[in-house]
Amino acid sequence: MSDKTTIHDIASMLRVTASTVSRALNDHPKISDATKRRVLTAAKKLNYQPNNIAAALRQGKSKVVGVLVPTIDRHYFSSVIHSIEAVLNDAGYHVIVAQSHDSPELERAKLKALMQAQVAGIILSFAKQNTDFEHFKDIIDRDIPLILFDRYHESLEVDTVVIDDYIGAYKATEHLIENGCTSIVHFTSTSQISIYKERKRGYIDALQRHGIAVQDELIWESHLTLEDGFELGNRLLSESKAVDGVFSASDFAAIGAMQAIKDQKGNMVRPIKFFGFSNETFTQFIDPPLSSVDQLSHSTGEMVAHRFLERIQHPHQKSLTMQKTVLTPKLCIRSSSQK
Amino acid sequence: MSDKTTIHDIASMLRVTASTVSRALNDHPKISDATKRRVLTAAKKLNYQPNNIAAALRQGKSKVVGVLVPTIDRHYFSSVIHSIEAVLNDAGYHVIVAQSHDSPELERAKLKALMQAQVAGIILSFAKQNTDFEHFKDIIDRDIPLILFDRYHESLEVDTVVIDDYIGAYKATEHLIENGCTSIVHFTSTSQISIYKERKRGYIDALQRHGIAVQDELIWESHLTLEDGFELGNRLLSESKAVDGVFSASDFAAIGAMQAIKDQKGNMVRPIKFFGFSNETFTQFIDPPLSSVDQLSHSTGEMVAHRFLERIQHPHQKSLTMQKTVLTPKLCIRSSSQK
DNA sequence: GAATTTTATGCAATCGATTGTTTCAGGATA
DNA sequence: TATCCTGAAACAATCGATTGCATAAAATTC
């Protein structure tokens, strides 16, 4: 039979009421052990599968958490989601995935849809060009736990899990200096986005701390794509300056540049050391393997999931105690940056 | 206010009943245009957000589709999910993601959990060591659309979307032959898994069709990891045979082997051409860029999503008309395999 | 043995939306 | 004017599980 059995079926089979069955299944203390056992046996016999939707309706909360990211199709995000799913599943939650495609409008629409699905919480890395955060108010007002990761904004009084871009950049730059680089170019993107601002700040501070003058003409801005990197690589070759190191805020731009240089190896005066950011899967496979700052996607996902579970278990504290977790990224040092 | 407004609030505001409001919102023909307009205005005014859970309970079906994959943390799967999500979202569905971690037990547990969440359908690429498909019966018996992709089994009378591994392998091997290879090694894994069996079959047929003798000692079995590939690469170097081509059923094994060969370049008698499978992101970044068979993750995701929507719209046809969609994979030819 | 507390269930309302079946008022028809 | 339609909205049941409150039976106390 495909007819789903309900607690009422169990109830009538046992000549008790549905409330008793419900309580028995939920291990309510006021139900006798004998009845609990009978209910459990009957449930198994009838192949009873609880209807979570009914419970969710009654309780006003489902066991589903919405995760909204720009795109799932990038290693960092899918890796974070991987960890979130693993942790939340063990806690009895499901994960709904939605993508904003970096569009604020889509983001708003998807958030609305998630709310309508009565999610128990929302985990979010928001769209790039977000300027207005009004739509988060709705979530907070309804006391639905909201956790941000990767991308966030200072103005938001919300739990956040990020890596310390500044430290990562600082250490990467320092590593280049310690490996003999004295003239280091920085590939960056618009300072509108905090992660790039922070990475630039780390780069600058590292130089200064090591007594190297910061030169604006060594800070190159682009969209940091592979193609951008390729152009920047050619620019490196044509520069009169004796650049001997590159700290790129993106792995893609870094390997684009390395590609350009390899293509014209003859022109190289001296070798240029490279350090990237994100530790994309391919960094270890290219030639030479690219040193990179690892964003700790695994830990981030776990932290985010745990933060959510804490919120769910202590809903009373509300937004009063917003927590910002900052993970220190890890340098993955490979041959591209070493002597 | 964080109090959610319901159709009853709208109803009492307008002095009509909830049923009228419900029908108005659903654009029911028996509701006058005037009322519809009034309801819509009131809904907007009260910031009404429908409670999907309540609707799902009443209708016995939610607008959520469960996607169960071995892991989301691999490019192929996250890419497929990316496309599924995009298509199903436009159709008003959500996507729940779950991972089986290639464990049949976990797979069964997650399927059960998805059923309890009252999903409208299930999209699945099942765990490797699956031998028993009893747990799918449940899904089918309940008339819940079930779509398999990537991995499947002939015994299952279920909609399926796969790529033609045989053709992909055949064409890749043929490409190597056309580029001058006469002694081609094949990296494979256990023939228990149909995709590897098919790829081997394609390799063998291509050789025969081109008058090249198939030699069992040129078919090398492993788990196809990067490390396995590295070992196989060393074996290539030490082999007395004059191997001049490798068709690997996995990109990872291919680049592992290429790595090993690069490490000992001096020993190379003649260059070996490589062809991989899966078209992982990194294939284009390594040196030389690796030719590979693309698995069409994007198309697969779209096909799967559309197949689901068809099933949902024509539930009557049941399993009678099981459809198997076979996509022809695309060769991505790069320099690793060319003269 | 009566009174009181405990324990284990039953009863009934509820969550919010949907839907088959009336009901009613106004219009058309004879 | 009486009858019949018909369109529009009301009524009421329902989906399945949960839960505050009431209650009966058993256990305890005096």
Q: Mean pLDDT of residues grouped by 10 in chain B (339 residues)? A: 81 94 93 93 94 95 94 93 96 94 91 93 86 81 90 84 96 97 95 89 98 95 94 88 92 93 69 94 87 97 96 69 92 93
B239 vs A163, which has greater pLDDT? A163
φ, ψ (nearest 5 deg) of residue A32: -70, 150
In whole angstroms, give the CA distance from residue A87 to residue A72. 18
Would you tell me how many other CB atoms lie within 10 Å of the CB of residue A47?
A: 10
Residue B6, pLDDT score: 95
Sort out which chain B residues have CB atoms less than 8 A from A49's CB and list them. 112, 115-116
Determine what percent of chain A is predicted with pLDDT higher than 90. Answer: 74
Residue B315, pLDDT score: 65
Cβ-based burial of B50 (10 A; exposed 0-12, middle 13-18, buried ≥19): middle
- The model's pLDDT over A43-92, given as tens digits with 9 standing for 90+, comes to 999 999 999 999 999 998 899 999 999 999 889 999 999 999 999 999 99
Residue B143, pLDDT score: 84
Of the partner residues A79, A99, A113, the one whose CB lies closest to the CB of residue B82: A99
Residue A143, pLDDT score: 85
Distance A57 CA to C14 C1' (A): 10
Residue of B nearest to A78 (CA): B73
Distance B96 CA to D21 C1' (A): 39
* Residue A1 structure tokens: 């039979």
Cβ-based burial of A135 (10 A; exposed 0-12, middle 13-18, buried ≥19): middle
Residue of B nearest to A282 (CA): B282
Of the partner residues A72, A79, A85, the one whose CB lies closest to the CB of residue B98: A85
Radius of gyration of chain B (CA): 26
Distance B5 CA to C23 C1' (A): 29
Residue of A nearest to B47 (CA): A138
For strand D, the positions having any atom within 7 A of a protein Cβ are: 7-20
Q: Does B89 touch chain A (CB under 8 A)?
A: yes
B56 and A53 within 8 Å at the Cβ level: the answer is: yes
Cβ-based burial of A18 (10 A; exposed 0-12, middle 13-18, buried ≥19): middle
A137 vs A21, which has greater pLDDT? A21
Residue B270, pLDDT score: 66
Q: What is the pTM of this model?
A: 0.89
Interface size between A and B, measured as CB pairs under 8 A:
131
- E strand or H helix at A173, and its extent? helix A165-178
Buried b (16+ CB within 10 A) or exposed e, B147-159: bbbbbbeeebebb
Q: Does B161 touch chain A (CB under 8 A)?
A: no
Distance B18 CA to C24 C1' (A): 18
A98 and B96 within 8 Å at the Cβ level: the answer is: no
For strand C, the positions having any atom within 7 A of a protein Cβ are: 7-12, 14-20
> Closest approach of chain A CAs to the CA of B302, in angstroms?
14
Sort out which chain B residues have CB atoms less than 8 A from A262's CB and list them. 287
Q: Which string of DSSP letters, residue by residue, matches B234-259?
A: HHHHH-SS---EEEESSHHHHHHHHH
Q: Which nucleotide is nearest to B57 (CA to C1')?
A: D15
> Closest approach of chain A CAs to the CA of B205, in angstroms?
32
B211 with B185: CB under 8 angstroms? no
Residue B147, pLDDT score: 95
Sort out which chain B residues have CB atoms less than 8 A from A71's CB and list them. 82
In whole angstroms, give the CA distance from residue A97 to residue A286. 31
Distance A108 CA to C16 C1' (A): 24
A133 with A152: CB under 8 angstroms? no
B286 and A281 within 8 Å at the Cβ level: the answer is: no
Give yes or no for residue A1 having a pLDDT over 50: no
- The SS3 of residue A277 is strand
Of the partner residues B4, B141, B286, the one whose CB lies closest to the CB of residue A287: B286
Residue B70, pLDDT score: 94
Residue B1, pLDDT score: 43
Sort out which chain A residues have CB atoms less than 8 A from B280's CB and list them. 281
Q: Which residue is nearest to nucleotide D12 (CA to C1')?
A: B19
Q: Does B265 touch chain A (CB under 8 A)?
A: no
Tokens 């592979």, residue? A226
Residue B3, pLDDT score: 67
Distance of CA B336 to the CA centre of its chain: 27
**3 state SS for A59-86:** HCCCCEEEEEECCCCCHHHHHHHHHHHH
- The model's pLDDT over A87-113, given as tens digits with 9 standing for 90+, comes to 999 999 999 999 999 899 999 999 999
Q: Which nucleotide is nearest to A55 (CA to C1')?
A: D17
Which residues are in reach of strand D, CB within 7 A?
A: A 4, 6-8, 18-19, 22-23, 25-26, 48, 50-51, 54-55, 57-59; B 15-20, 30-32, 34-35, 54, 57-58, 60
B199 with B254: CB under 8 angstroms? no
Sort out which chain B residues have CB atoms less than 8 A from A50's CB and list them. 116
B287 and A286 within 8 Å at the Cβ level: the answer is: yes
- The SS3 of residue B212 is coil
In whole angstroms, give the CA distance from residue B4 to residue A144. 13
Give yes or no for residue A277 having a pLDDT over 80: yes
Residue B327, pLDDT score: 97
**Chain B residues 97-156 with a CB less than 8 Å from chain A:** 97-99, 110, 112-118, 141-143
Residue of A nearest to B1 (CA): A141
